[in-house]
Amino acid sequence: MFTLLLALLPLVSGQNATYQNATVMPATRYVLEDRYSGLDFFNGWDFFTGPDPTNGFVNYVNQSVAQSNGLISSVGGAAYIGVDYTSTLNATTSPGRQSVRISTEKYYNESLIIGDFLHMPGSICGTWPAFWTLSQTEDWPAGGEIDIIEGVNTDTQNQATLHTAPNCMIDGAGETGTLLTNDCAVVDGNGCSVLDNRTNSYGDGFNAGMGGVYATQWTSEFIRIWFFPRSAIPADITAGTPDPSTWGAPMSNFQGSCDIDTHFVNHEIVFDTTFCGDWAGNVWNQFPTCSALAPTCTDYVASNPAAFADAYWLVNYVAVYTQQVIPDVTTTSTPASTRWWSHPTPSGYPNPGRIPVAAGQRGPWGHWHAQPPPVATTTALITQVPVIANATATAAIATSTSTRYWWNNDN
């Protein structure tokens, strides 16, 4: 039977192929590439231990020291990333308060990065936390920087920012946030920024609502960032089948006169919490609540360790999805009951997220069969779908890789 089916397969050229009266049209879906979560969260991350590039009053420690001193751990299945909040320091002679800066060993390009956070560092004087991406292979700012979550001191609203080399401008259209600056080129550390208008997007307000999800979509045309509070996370994100086209307007839409592919190259994902430095320290006097506590940011951070007990991240997961082309089929005259597909392993199927993944289940397109179609129907249309890795499908079809499933579009 299998030999006969292979003989009936049409020749495929590029991404489109015609099978008698049916044409396969390319479609894309986001497919999971990497997921950092649970007890294994810190696998695949590097611990930065050099001087802070932003001149903060901080001492970044390695993984061993971070574990020994309680700066990283697993709490109820979530990753805890904190800072030292017990040591009183000398503002002049100390290298700074111990903290953690980690970055993924692997770098990414066009992708969908989703982070689910139960907690982030609170709105605390002297703090400067960030969840961001940075080029692993290009000098800054030539390879670009994407600041997904960032703020300082007692901020309560998230500020998303891009930093690039010259000639990258955004127009601020199609976003729910407020455009602060539109030139992404680095000028005294600035870039193009969008402020989230919601006070639950950062710091104390974020934590009061048990956090939420940040999603960053990076394509060759734009970089978009969404924030979903815990009570409003889209079902497709929870299901692991994210579809940004259904999420509505993003908080920030970085799009305009900017060649994304040139300005953003090979990014690692980064978490850090620094203190004072080029932003939090330089604007200290612009925060009256903070400047009333100490003459300088460094003085306050050195002398008030207990203030930073809430300066921690609690991360459910960080997931990276990439787009894959998935054949879709339209037809003009071939009867639905004669359109069949097969795949050689449980990890590949025509359209992840839209069709069932177990033999015998029905769905919007049809249903899977554990046995091949009758010989009589194979003469109409048979094609073999490329294997597409999908963890959900692999788990749902609990069978050996030698089993072949057949899809019949008979709805």
Residue numbers annotated as active site: 145, 150
- How does DSSP assign 316-338, residue by residue? EEEEEEEEEEEEEEEESSS-GGG
The backbone torsions φ and ψ at residue 160, rounded to the nearest 5 degrees and listed phi first, read -95, 140
Q: Are 339 and 411 in contact (CB under 8 A)?
A: no
- Which residue's structure tokens are 């649970």? 38
Q: If you write DSSP's letter for every residue of 192-236 in order, what string do you get?
A: EEEE-S-TTSSHHHHHHTT-EEEEEEE-SS-EEEEEEEGGG--HH
Spatial neighbors of 394 by CB under 8 A, at least 6 apart, are: 346, 347
Q: Which value, to the nearest 10 degrees, does the dihedral of the CA atoms of residues 288, 154, 61, 56 take? A: -40
* Count helices and strands in the chain by DSSP H and E runs: 9, 25
How many angstroms separate the Cα of 340 from the Cα of each of 114, 151, 267, 364, 410?
A: 35, 53, 40, 15, 9
Picking from 82, 21, 46, the residue whose alpha carbon sits closest to that of residue 339 is: 21
DSSP string computed for 57-105: SEEE--HHHHHHTTSEEEETTEEEE----S----TTT---EEE-EEEES
CA distance 108 to 265: 8
Q: Which of 354, 351, 336, 331 shows the shortest CA–CA distance to 409?
A: 336
Residues near 64 by Cβ (< 8 Å), separated by ≥ 6?
none
